[in-house]
Structure formats: structure tokens, C-alpha cells
Structure 1
Amino acid sequence: MKRMATTRIGVRELVEFVLRSGDLNQRQGSQNTALNGARIHRRLQKQRGDDYEKEVYLKQSVTMSGREYTIDGRADGISHTTDEDYTIEEIKTSDLDFAEVSENTLQLYWGQAQVYGYILAQQKNLAAVTLQLTYFQTTTEVVTTKTKVMQQAELTAFFQQLIAEYEEWLVLRDQWRAQRNTTVKQIDFPFPAYRQGQRELAVAVYKSILLQKRLFVEAPTGTGKTISTLFPAIKALGEDKIQRVFYLTAKQSTRQVAEDALALLSQQGMQLKSITLTAKDKITFAEEVDLAPENNPYMLGYYDRVKPALRDLLMHENQLTRTVIEEYARKHTIDPFEFSLDASLFADVIICDYNYLFDPIVYLQRFFSEPDRDNFFLVDEVHNLVSRSRDMYSASVSSQTFQAVLQQAKTESSAGTSALEKLTSKVKRALTKISKPLRDDDITEMTGQAPLDSVNQALADWVAKIHDWLAEYQDNPLVDTLLDAYFASLTYLKIADLYDETYQSLVSYDHKLRQTTVKQLCLDPSAFLDRALGLGAGAILFSATLSPLSYYQQVLGNNKDSLTFRLASPFPSQNQALLVTPYIQTTYRQREQNLDRIIASIGVMVNAKVGNYLVFLPSYSYLETVQAAFAAAYPQLKTISQATQMDEIQRAEFLAQFTAQPTGTLVGFCVLGGIFSEGIDLKGERLIGVAIVGVGLPGLSTERDLVRDYFDAQQGTGFQYAYQLPGMNHVLQAAGRLIRGSHDVGVILLLDQRFASSRYTQLFPAHWQHFQRCYSVAQLTNQIDQFWQMVAVKNKALD
């Protein structure tokens, strides 16, 4: 199913919503077809005569459910020899032979052509229109052409039938939206009073929606960012200023916070439909995993059952969480992931991961195939989007991936294995050839600005032939191993289509493993992010740590019209001692000789008051060194540390040790930028001190050096953008684990002399301006003692 628009309905969306039937995952094509579709369209269109016009925009106004809608789209081509003789061409591409295309798929193809035919007949007052379906099989390049002549009366009857069924769902949606608007107007802010700055933030968000702007917001911990952005956005929904809010997050924990905020508003009687989209690998039923689509009961007949399932779901539920989606999917025997996507068409608020908007491979085409001013984006913890977006627009393939296929092929004698070996050996040879200079010169990496055309061509040829192989030998034991290489290659080719001056090619060779890896590295994805954010009316991009705002404005879209808003911390600065130690150096060369001072400084903090503490270090190896030295110096204190791989249960067990009423001191050692340096909430006595060792600079790497060189060439900010600012964000996030509530108190130690330099103090947020420099362990001891004495006096006065 495709997007149901508010005032505009695309031709394809209309046809597919009404006419699609049968099984989910019918083999109608492949990702490879999508990659080549536009190219093939252009190729075929160039072959047409002088009377042929390509990509013709057609639209027709219709009234449904008492409102006017525009049905529109682009016909692939229109030709005419006389004023009454018109032919509309619909071009389709697929890997399948035309004879293998399902009846329902053909119905969808012809359906689009018929709608275009209807619109053209209305505009030109034509008695009849010739419809031509041109089908291009990508693997053989065989073109099949089918034509039919339809009278205006036939086209009109077909179009009206589509509109009649579509209107039934519009009536339902309009009823739900009317109920939404009425109840949203009646709700109030769900807390007795606004926190400091909270009302100002809500007003700024609402104004940004009215102005259709992008707003970058730095709102420190405690300002209630989630409810302060969601509440005004929902109020805008109730006024029909927008129709759909996407709440985009990087982590499951923040998605849960958004769900909780909506549940809180629902307690006031708000009738609003929200949905949380869960990753396919998490929500797919366990019994589906090993089933082929043709044997999967949740896919077989999916489109025949999905509309009754949607009606059942939407008539009885408002908050469509993962649990609710799974319940109704089981009830109606339909795939839960695809069901959630179809249900999202009717949602007012959609909570989902960043990749559903920004990732060029998995973005939601049903919503984001074209701009829609009814959409508005709330992007939470947006500091994470800097590295995430660079990863989304980069791609790599390794010879090891193809070698795994070849190694398994040697042990198999199944049909098709020999042919597969030959095909895969060719692409592996192309990768081996590209790394020859590395082997000859005994070096490990080389970079270049140009795309690796020879690799791209080899992968494109391999993908096209492997698709046919998979269709013919789907029971071959090699299929599972092969699919890893297949999808990695498809992703690589998609990114190759985006390659421009913001990219670098990186070829690396592991001499020990004899393994070649090629990577297309996106150094600056800001233009892609700008394009994605432009698919809605505007966006609020917010985080507790967004300093300097100008940096995030540039790397997250570089839109000159974006606005900024910064809130002060709602918590008194005296609740937190922020101490910088210029007497400690933690650069790689200085770490060993400064270890004693580091241990002594941490010891001063944790021995000043019984309680729970966290110490953040730049790497696992350094963590082990510091923890071992600390445990030797203070054997009476309990220490725990973050492990390299921790599942959800292990993480929960680690955090559970930070109790609200500790009877002894606990010191946890964690990696800066890791799983415990953001997104955890240890309130009150669960955490009273944080030490951060080093300024958080990411490790030196060729990739980061390429980013540095790129921004140096652009504007002379290479080191800051590649190393300093990402590192400082890790520091701010880790420090933000302390002081989670208005009554929390504690100590933050910044253990590195670089923190005392203006290069870093200028990056300190406003609520850090009370920091103090301590030039010795003795002075540090005195400052911490004074802080806790002040806290004790204050608490006594309150008692």
C-alpha cells in the first residue's frame, strides 16, 4: 500500500491502494530493477519519435468526502498524430520474463495507464485513448509491448470505481481526524506547571510549524524536550496546520519516551492515532524467519486480508505500539512489519528510527517519494545524526564476502554451483585487481576522488546475473551465503549513483588475510540531509548537546534559512561542581607518566563522599589500565566495568548496581562515547560523580583524516569537524549523566589540561561557565570537600 495524501493523491498510490491483491513479496522485480529503472526509462524514451512527449504531468480534481482532492502523476510518455489520436505509454521494468508477471501486477500496470488515460480524455475531450504498456526485462533486455484502445466511457467507469472505494477510507480517516482535532483542542499541558524554559521551547516549536521552518534546539537535560516538542506539534495537528508528525530517533529508549508522552496526553481524552515502527528483524514473527515467501502464511494472501485487518485495528486502537501491531497481525494472519507500514498511512504521529527518512536504501517511499507539506519532522538526539548520516550515505564491499561464497561452493555439488563459481570469481578478480598497487608497494590503503568504475561495473554485471541464478536455483544450499554478498552489492551500487564531489574512494588491503575492501566514503552528507528534510514542511532538530549550533546547522543540512534556539539549564549551577585539572595530560604519549595523578584525582572524588560514580575513558584498553591501577590503589572500593559486548540483560544488570540508597561506594568504568555515556538516567543518589579522562578525540584513522582534509579545503575547519567537535559531544553527553533532576547534586571532573584551554572552554555550554581550574591534587581535594560541605549545609537548612 502507498501513501494516502491529504489534498493530493498520486496516481500510483490510488491504483495500488485499491487494486493490489494476493501475496506479499510477489516476485515483481528486485532492488536492482529499482536502481536501473530511471536509466531504462530514459533510454526507451529517447527511441521515440518527434511526436512523443516524455514525463507528462497530468492532474484531475475530484470531490470526495466533501473535500476537493487532486489526482496527479507523470505519465511516462504521450504521443499523438492528430488532435484525436493519443497514445499514453506506461513503461515498466523488471527482472522477470513478461510471461511470469502475475495477473495482479499486470492489473496494477494497466490501472495506472487507465487513470492517465481518463485524465487525458477529460482534458482533451477525447472519445478514446490508446494505452501502451512497454515492459523491459532487465536481465535479457527484451522489450514486450502491449496496447489496448479504451473508450472514454470505459475509462470514466474505471476511474469512478477506484474513487468510490478510496473514498470509503477517506471518510473513515476524515472522521478520525475530526475526532482528533476536537479532542486535541481540549487537552492542556500534562503537568501542573512548565519547567524553566519549557513554555518558551513549546512556543518556538509551534511558531516554526506555522512558518514551515527548520529549528535547531539545544535544550539541556531536565528541560523536558520530548513533551515540549510533541505537545505543540500535536496542537498544530488539531488546527490542521499539519497532518502528520514524524518523531525520529536514534535509539529504542527515546522511542519509549515519546510513547510515554503520548500516553500521558491520551489520559486527558486525546483521540490521536500514533504508531511506533519497529525494525523488520525485531518484529517479524519467529516462525516466519526460515520460511520462504511462498510457504509463509503471513505473506500468502496478505493483500486480501490487510484491509479488514486495518479496519479492525483502526476502529479499536489509537496507540499502535509494537505489542498492539503484533496482536492484530496474529489475529488476521498477516506479516507484522508490512502491516505496521500499511497502518502508518492512517497515523497522526509516527515514531521511528532516523533511517526511515534519511537512509537512501530503506527510506519510506510511501511517504517520501516527493515533498509533502503535511509532514513535519521532530528529530530527537540529533547530535547522533552526524555520524549516522555519514554511514547511511557510505558503502563498502569486501573480497572476503565473495570468497565466503566461493569457499562454500567448493564443498557443494548442487545444480548451479559451477555457474555461480564462475560468476563470483569474476567480481572477486575485479576487487583483487584494484588492490594490486597496495600489494606491490606493501601498503594497506589508498584513496582517490574518482569513483571506482571498474568495481562498479563488475558488481552491476554480477548482480544482474545473480538475480537470475537465485530465481533458478532457489533451493541451492549456497543461497543464504550468497544473499549477504548480493545485498551488500546492491547497496554499494545505490550509493555509487549518489557519488559526487563530497565522496572519496578508499581501497584497503589486509596483507595477512589477503583481503581487499573498497569503500565509497561520504565526507559531507549535508546536501542529502537537506533534501530529506525538505520532504516535509519543516523540522525541529533537538538535543541536550548541540554546541556549537552553527556546526550542527552546517553538517545537518546547511540550510541558510534554518533557525536556532538555546535553552538555559533548569537546574541551579551550584548543584554541580565542575572541576578542570590542568595538571593532568592524557595524550597517548603522556598517559603512562600521568597515570598516578589520574588515579589520585579519581580517588579524591570517590573518597570525598560515599556513593555511586562513573569514570569515562577513551578506549577499552585504557579503561583496563586505569581500572587495574585504581583497584590496586583502592582495594577497599568496589569497581565494575563496561565489557566490549553487552546484551540488554547485561546492561540492565550493570545499571542496577547503581542503587538509590548506596551503603558503600561503587565506581563504574565506562568507555566515552559508548552505551553508558548517553541515554541512561541515573537520578538522585544513583549517581553523584562523573570523571572524564581525556577530551574524547576519536582515534586517528584514514577516514577521519579524509573528513579533516575535506573541511580544511572547504573552510579551514578540518580538525574541529573531524576530531574536536565529535569528541567534545561525547564529553558533554557523558557529563550529562549527572544532574538529572532539580534536587540532584554531584561532581564532574574533566581530567585533561586541554579542557583548561580556550579552544575547549569556548565550547562549554552556558551551564558550565561556573567551572573551576584545580592546579594540583591538593587544590582538587579542597574544592570537592568545600562543595560537599556546602551541600550538607544547604540540606540541613532545608530540614
Structure 2
Amino acid sequence: MQYTVSVRALCDFTARRGDLDLRFTPTPSAQEGIAGHQLVTSRRGPEYETEITLRGEFGPLVVRGRADGYDPVANRLEEIKTHRGDLAKQPGNHRHLHWTQAKVYGHLLCRERGLEEIEVALVYFDIASQEETEFMERHSAESLRVFFEERCGEFLAWAEQEMEHRRSRDEQLTALTFPHAEFRKGQRQLAEAVYKGAASGRCVLAQAPTGIGKTIGTLFSMLKAAAPHKLDKVFYLTAKTTGRQLALDAARQITESAPDLRLRVLELTARDKACEHPDKACHGDSCPLARGFYDRLPSARSEAVQAGCGHAGALRSIARQHQVCPYYLAQELARWADVIVGDYNYWFDGSAMLYGATLANEWKVGVLADEAHNLVERGRVMYSGTLQQGALRAARSKAPGIVRRALDKVDRALSAVGEEHPGEDAPEELSPNFINTLKQACVVMETHFAESAPGAADAALQQFYFDVLGFVRLAEEFGSHSVLELTEQAGASAPAIALRIQNLIPAPFLKPRFAAARTVTLFSATLTPPQYQIDMLGLPAETAWIDVESPFSAEQLHVRIVDRISTRYGDRQRSAAPIGRLIAEQFAAQRGNYLAFFSSFEYLDLVAGEFQREYPQVPAWVQARGMAEAERNNFLARFVPGSAGVGFAVLGGAFGEGIDLKGDRLVGAFVATLGLPQVNARNELLRERLEEAFGSGYDYAYLFPGMQKVVQAAGRVIRTTEDRGVVHLIDDRFGRMAVQGLLPQWWAVGSHRLPGA
């Protein structure tokens, strides 16, 4: 059995020493790095070779990678690194790592081409100045061979451990049986779809109802596919923290059902939640967990791997014991874990860590995305960015002179945009001069961060730098998938504008994510119609669609369409009394707990106020704007077995999805809206763009997203095969066949129609 490792991974493992140090020049974007490499290589002669694929062996180790460039005339191999700022500020361990990579590539090239010696060069290209700085060493092929074998020797024991782990893992996964006595109704159908997706290398879009055990069914099936289809890793991605815990619980059940299975399960958490010293910077002169990080990492890594990696709390405990940063320990463990559980952004975001690692290490991965109906809106957020003039001025107030002058230019440029487009009439595109002004400010801020004393960088300035950097990256990829938005706010001394790149269609950005995986399964209870998801997310045309059979029956849920009440904006005032009367009549007919959903807080307050005045004998509680976690918990605490009352909530809010009120904790729901997004300038522009792109502008912008929220909210009522309940859909438009076609097939819509009031 052979173990394949990339040159980068081999060198990271054997050559990283000393401090974790993020002070030296923030990393150029991927686009800038590619452009920098291309510019450097374009300056070379006609014989110059680029992206040279190399491979070497040492015992069971197979080391492979691509060298940046080789000049056969000068017999010179180059390792090209892009950067910004003063190279004199570069930590020594960074340079040491780069030399290690260059020399390993030097050996592989000498071996492949029979060279007796070679010149090895580090070429640092400054993105800002476009200048190259070169460091050169001449080595014999023999000395490079010895160097290579020493690196491999250091890695070999770990590699042998990893080979044994992979052999045992795949053997146990091949024999793995489902951890429960049998599959639930619909669960096997979903699991089979996941497996077939991995087998065929296709993406899968699965609409699967609540209550069938989607989490454990999909994870089990993807793990079963790992050995026969050579999956290196499984990524389980969620929209919320509760989803991560469900995935971790499912992984625990699977491993407990197979005592000999040593599955490494890793939970990834956000940096701000994992950080032990949020008041300190990420370098050894500031943070004690960064000082000597790479010297203590091997022991922490070994313990975590032996423990099966672990959830965030377990990792934090190991990190504390070894005095290393828990966030960067988790980043390292992602290389060695079998199952990684984390937020969508680890795969789908513009700087997604798991996506980047998959490309760099050429992993074959299976991706599971839970509650995937959230991904369209999350994708829009990931690929949108805002420049706040108010934040700029706050950052400027404490910045040193040279930085202040650069920010002044940005300030004037933003003001000019506002003057050229009064009344929040946004420009259609950004001028090259504006983008260059932002880039120049980035360079000045980066130089300041690299050269400032430890801990001296102002937090507001750092945050504004990241805002500008993200904005520039989006500006460089600006197209019909996004629009510019301009808003004006009152400032302390002068009006302040906010300029936003708002993504409308995330498909162009997400498409490469689907291409990079062996298979991706997106699943949720509300993915109808599938073509909407395929178009908006950029899924491959051959994506498989499955609508999983529900374990629930029509007898469990009475769906009552109240078609004589309009919830349109102009009708809301006169709708309050009949809706209140409907709720009271249902409560009198069947005491229990209900949720009533409305399209906005204003509408909610209107109907709730009417209801509480007219029916004070019925307990009622109301969702408020901006509820803290404790307040949300108190709201849900009213839904206890045997209790009765009505909770008023906003559709699409905290109580419209993701809550589990089984049994008689919830016996019914009222949905007084189609959930259509508000008609405003952005949504109308969205409708126009979607009409141009897909020919279904109104449905894609309004109807489909709205009905998704309706079905999610109504789905709170029936959570198990024992539950019984009622749902009132209040609006005449629910009577339309096109609308009813977006409701779950198992609902008996229209069989219990009420005349309304």
C-alpha cells in the first residue's frame, strides 16, 4: 500500500517550526496570486517551463506536486511566492518553509531529468510594486536527495500510521451496518440516493421531509460509499449550530454501533468563538498560544488524532493542555480527519478553507449540505460586501498619518460616488480609478500592519481593511449576477454613504464548489421546484433530483385554505378581526398550543393586538424585534406538553424553521401570508435579472422563496408519525393550483376547506 502526500503537506509537516505569525503581509487573493505568478513567468525566456508536474517515492511514500517554473537554459528551478510589504519583516520560519519546498522540488526535478546539480531560487513577487526579489542557492543532486529523504524519513512514521488508519477505516466502513434496527420510511430512499451520487460522481438534490432521520441517513450512506469510491473525506455542512450538533450526534451513533471503527470526526467553529485571547493578535509577541505554536503542534496533533479529533469543546481542552491555539489546531486537524462538520462557509465562501485544502491536496470528497433551502440566501450574503463611509471615518480617526492620507482618498472617492448619484441612485458599475484607489489604500494599510508594533493596530482599522479587501475581490468579479446599491445616512459632521455590492445570483460563485467535489448532496424539506435550486446555486445540469416519500399521512394534518381573507398589504387592516376570530374559533374547537405566522412585525402586532383585546381569555405571547437568545428560549418555553395558547411570530424568523415541538407541544399553525418578499427596488431588480437569466423572474424572485417559508413554518406542526394537527393557510391566493403545486404532496390540500369570515 502506498501513501500519497503533496509536496506542500510534506513540507508543512516537517519544516514548520516556531511561532504562528500572521503579521507579515496579509495574503494576496487567489486571483492576485495567479496573476502574480503569470506575470513573473511571462518575464522569462521562451524556453521557460511552468507548472511542472513532479513525482517521487520513498518507501511507501509517493510525493507529488507542481513546481512553479524551470529555466532549462540556466538550469534554474524557481519557487514563486506572491506577497505585499517589506520582506525584511518576514518571519524566519516562513522563509525556512519556502526553502524546504523549493529544495524538495529541486530533488524531484533532478531525479526526473537526470540532472547532477541545479540552481534553486525563491522568487518573491510584490503584488503592489510588481517587483521581484530573488534568493538563490546551488545544490548538487546528491545533497537534494539526502534533504528529500530526511524530510520523508521524518514523515514516514506518521504516514505509516495514516495508512493503517485508512486501511482499517475502509475495512470497517465496508462492513458497516445501519446503527438502527431498520430504516424509517423514506430514510432508505434518501440514503440510496446519496450512495448513488457518490458512486456516479453526480450531485444530488433531495427533498426529504422532517422526521425520517435525514442526518444519520445521509452521513451513514456517504461513509458507506467512502471505501468503494475512494473518498478521502466527508464534509457535513450546516446553516446553524443546532445542525452541527445533530451531525456530531449521528457520527457518534455510527461509531458506537461499530466498536472497531476508528472514525476521526472534527467540528470546525468560527475563529471568534474558538479564540482564547480575542484581545491579542495572532503572533508570538502578542499571544502566548501563538508563541512556539509549531513546536508544540506535533504533540497536540497526535493526541487529537488518537482521540478521534473531536467536537469544539474537546479540541479546546486538548489545545489548552498543549498551550496551542484551538482554532489553528482545528485547521491542522482538517488534514487528518475523516468527517468534518462545520458551517456552509467552510466550503462555499469565497475564501473557504475546506475548498482550498481540497484543491491543494487533491482530495476526493463527499459533501452533505443540510437545510439546503438556506443556501441561496447564504450564498448571496457570502458574495456581497459593503463599504461604510462611517466606518472609514472611525478607522481614520486613530490611524497614523500615511494611512490617514490613503483613507482620505477613499473617503473622497466615496463622496464623489454619492455626488454623482444623488438620491440613492446607485451606479451600474465601478470605475477602474475607484477600484485602484481602494487597492492603494489596502497596500498602505497592509504595510502599516506589517511594520507596526505588536498589538498597535487599531481594531476599527483592521476591520475596515478586511471590508475593503473583500469589496475589491467582489469588484474584480462584478457582473450581471450582482448589483450596486447606494444608501445615505446622517453622519456626525457630514452625510455618510454606504456602497454595497449585492449579489443576486450566487450560481457563478458556487458552481466551482460543486465541480471540486466527487459528489454533493443538498437536502431539505423544502426544495421545490428543483430547477430553481439548480439555476440559483449553479448545480450541474445532470444533478439528480429525488422527492423522498414522506412518513406522514394526510390523516395526520388537516390543511385548511381560508380563501376569503386577503393578506395583501392594502387589506391587512380589515383582515385583523377575521384572522383573530379564526384563531379563537380553532382554539375553542381544540385547545392546545398554536403558532400564528405573519409577513412582518407590523402585521403581527396589528393582529396580535386585535386578538388580545378581543380574546383576553386565550393565553398569547408575541415575538419581538431583535430578541436575544434568552428571550427566544422563553418564547419556546411556553410550548410545553399539556399547555395551551397562541404564539405570534414572523414568517421566516427564528420560529419559522429549525424548532422541534413534538407531540402536543404544538397542535396547529396559522400562516397569514404567502411569504412573498417585499416589493422594493432591490427585489424588482432581482426579478428583472432573473427574468433575463432564467425566464421566470416573478416566480424566482417572489413566489418560490415565499412558499418555501410557508412550508417551513407549517412543517413545525407534524414532527413525528404520532403527531396530529391542523394548518390554516390564510389568503385567497392559496387556492391557486400553481401555488398548491408548491405544497408537500402528502398534504390533503382543499379537503377541509373553510369559507373564512
Give the TM-score normalised by structure 2: 0.95
Alpha-carbon shift at residue 417 of structure 1 (Å): 3.1
- Structure 1 position 373, deviation (Å): 5.5
Q: What residue in structure 2 maps to residue 297 of structure 1?
A: 288
Residue 471 to residue 87, structure 1, CA distance change in 2 (3 Å): closer
Counterparts of 1:70 and 1:606, CA distance in 2: 70
Please tell me whether residue 314 in structure 1 is matched to residue 268 in structure 2: no
Relative to 1, partners in 2 of residues 1:562 and 1:454: Cα closer, same or farther, differing over 3 Å? Answer: same
Instruction: Work out the CA distance in 2 between the residues paired with 1:771 and 1:227.
Output: 34
Query: Equivalent pairs: percent with the same residue?
Result: 31
The structure 2 residue matched to 1:80, chosen from 62, 72, 78, is 72
Q: Secondary structure at the match of 1:129?
A: strand
Q: Distance in 1 between matches of 2:22 and 2:533?
A: 43
In 2, distance between residues paired with 1:478 and 1:25? 15
Q: Unaligned regions of 5+ residues in structure 1, if any? A: 410-415, 779-799
Q: Which moved more, 1:505-514 or 1:750-759?
A: 505-514
Judging changes above 3 Å, is the alpha-carbon distance between structure 1 residues 537 and 33 closer, same or farther for their aligned structure 2 residues? closer
Give the secondary structure class of the aligned counterpart of 1:492. helix
Cα distance in structure 1, aligned partners of 2:409 and 2:241: 42
Q: 1:427 aligns with which of 400, 410, 413?
A: 410
Corresponding residue for residue 278 of structure 1: 269
Task: Show the counterpart of 2:576.
Answer: 595
User: Per-residue displacement from partner, 1:265-296 (whole Å, max 9, x unpaired)?
Assistant: 222213211111111111212x4534563221
- Which residue is equivalent to 1:640? 621
CA–CA distance in structure 2, aligned partners of residues 372 and 721 of structure 1: 36
Q: Are the counterparts in 2 of residues 399 and 515 from structure 1 also a CA contact under 8 Å?
A: yes
| Cα separation, partners in 2 of 1:70 and 1:473, compared to 1, 3 Å | closer
Deviation string, structure 1 residues 573-619 (Cα, Å, up to 9, x no partner): 11110011110101111111222111111222222111111011111
Aligned counterparts of 1:405 and 1:358: Cα–Cα separation in 2: 30
Q: Which amino acid aligns with 2:91?
A: S
* Structure 1 vs Structure 2 CA RMSD: 2.2
Establish whether residue 201 from structure 1 lines up as the match of residue 197 from structure 2: no
Tell whether the 8 Å contact from 1:738 to 1:746 is kept in structure 2 after alignment: yes
The superposition leaves residues 519-571 of structure 1 with CA deviations (integer Å, 9 ceiling, x where unpaired) of 22222221321211211101111101111112112222241111111112101
Q: Please say if 1:57 is aligned against 2:76.
A: no
**SS of corresponding position for 1:168:** helix
Q: Is the 8 A contact 2:309 2:333 kept in 1?
A: no
Structure 2: any 5+ residue segments left out of the alignment? none
Equivalent positions of 1:51-450 (< 5 A) are 51-53=47-49, 55-62=50-57, 64-65=59-60, 69-73=62-66, 75-81=67-73, 85-239=74-228, 241-268=230-257, 269=259, 270-285=261-276, 287-290=277-280, 293=283, 294-315=285-306, 317-318=307-308, 320-364=310-354, 367-370=357-360, 372=362, 374-406=364-396, 408-409=397-398, 417-439=400-422, 443-448=423-428, 450=429
> Structure 1, residues 705-756: CA drift from partner, whole Å, max 9, x if none?
2221111112321111111111111111101101101110011011111111
| CA distance, structure 2, for counterparts of residue 158 and residue 226 of structure 1 | 47
Q: Shift in Å at residue 192 of structure 1?
A: 2.2
Distance in 2, matches of 1:623 and 1:102, equals: 58
Within 5 Å, which residues of 2 pair with 1:615-630?
Answer: 615-630=596-611
- Structure 1 pair 29/752, CA: closer, same or farther in 2 (3 Å)? same
- When residues 399 and 229 of structure 1 are mapped into structure 2, their CA distance, relative to the original with a 3 A threshold, is same
Q: Secondary structure at the match of 2:335?
A: helix
> Partner of 2:318: helix, strand, or coil?
helix
1:320 Cα deviation from its structure 2 partner: 0.5
Displacement of 1:473: 4.0
- Distance in 2, matches of 1:601 and 1:232, equals 45
Indicate conservation of the 8 Å contact 1:371/1:534, yes or no.
Answer: no
Q: CA deviation at 1:191?
A: 1.9
Q: What is the number of equivalent residue pairs in this alignment?
A: 752
Structure 1 counterpart of 2:705:
726
Superimposed CA distance per residue, residues 12-69 of structure 1 (whole angstroms, 9 cap, x where no aligned partner): 222222211111124342134666333222222222222323x23222142544xx63
* TM-score, scaled relative to structure 1: 0.90
Q: Secondary structure at the match of 2:289?
A: coil
1:470 aligns with 2:449: yes
CA deviation profile, 1:285-340 (whole Å, cap 9, x unmatched): 2x45345632211111101111111112222x126011110110000000001101
**Residue in structure 1 matching 2:520, options 511, 526, 539:** 539
Report the counterpart of residue 530 of structure 2 in structure 1.
549
CA distance in structure 1 between the partners assigned to 2:291 and 2:282 by the alignment: 10
Q: Tell me the distance in 2 between the aligned counterparts of 1:477 and 1:9.
A: 40
- Seen in structure 2, the aligned counterparts of structure 1 residues 365 and 764 have a Cα distance that, compared at 3 Å, is closer
Give the letter for the 2:408 counterpart: S
Question: Equivalent residue of 2:367, what SS?
Answer: strand
Displacement over 6 Å in runs of 4+ = 475-478
Distance verdict in 2 for CA 1:740–1:370, change over 3 Å? same
C-alpha separation between the residues in 2 aligned to 1:476 and 1:282? 20
Tell whether the 8 Å contact from 2:355 to 2:513 is kept in structure 1 after alignment. no
SS state at 1:767 partner: coil
In 1, the alpha carbon distance for the partners of 2:272 and 2:165 equals 31
Task: Give the AA of the match of 1:483.
Answer: Q
Residues of 2 paired with 1:35 and 1:404: CA distance?
A: 30
Which residue of 2 is the match for residue 502 of structure 1? 481
- 1:692-711 equivalences in 2 (<5 Å): 692-711=671-690
The amino acid across from 1:322 in the alignment is: A
Whole-Å separation in 1 of the counterparts to 2:51 and 2:680? 49
| 1:419 positional shift | 3.2
Say if 1:605 and 1:689, in contact at 8 Å, map to a contact too: no
For residues 548 and 142 of structure 1, what CA distance do their matches in structure 2 show?
52
Q: Secondary structure at the match of 1:681?
A: coil
Contact 2:561 2:752 in 1 (8 A): yes
